[in-house]
Amino acid sequence: MTDNEKIKRLQSFIDESQNIVFFGGAGVSTESGVPDFRSKDGLYNNKDVRFEKYSPEYLLSHTCLTREPKVFFEFYRQKMDARFAKPNAAHIFLAGLESAGRLSAVITQNIDGLHTDAGSRNVYEIHGSTRRNYCIKCGKKYPADYIYESKEDIPRCDCGGMVRCDVTLYEEALPERAVNGAINAIKFADMLIIGGTSLTVYPAASYIKYFSGKHLAVINKDPLSVFLDPENDIEINLPIGEVFSQCRVN
In degrees, rounded to 5, the angle at the alpha carbon of residue 63 between the alpha carbons of residues 175 and 116 is: 35
Q: Which of 62, 91, 115, 127 is catalytic?
A: 127
Inter-CA distances, 220 with 55, 66, 76, 195, Å: 26, 36, 27, 6
C-alpha 174/C-alpha 150 separation (Å) is 27
**End-to-end CA, the chain:** 24
Q: Phi and psi for 123 in degrees, rounded to 5?
A: -115, 125
Question: How many CB atoms lie under 10 A from the CB of residue 52?
Answer: 7
**List of E strands, 72-230:** 103-108, 123-125, 128-135, 141-142, 163-167, 191-195, 215-219
CB 192 within 8 A of CB 211: yes
Taking the CA of residue 71 as centre, how many other CA atoms within 13 Å lie in the half-sphere pointing to its CB? 21
**Residue 91 falls in the annotated catalytic set:** no
Residue 36 host element (H or E): none
Q: Is 55 helix (H, G, I), strand (E, B) or coil?
A: coil
Q: Tell me if 186 sits within 8 A of 208, measured CB to CB.
A: yes
Positions marked active-site? 127
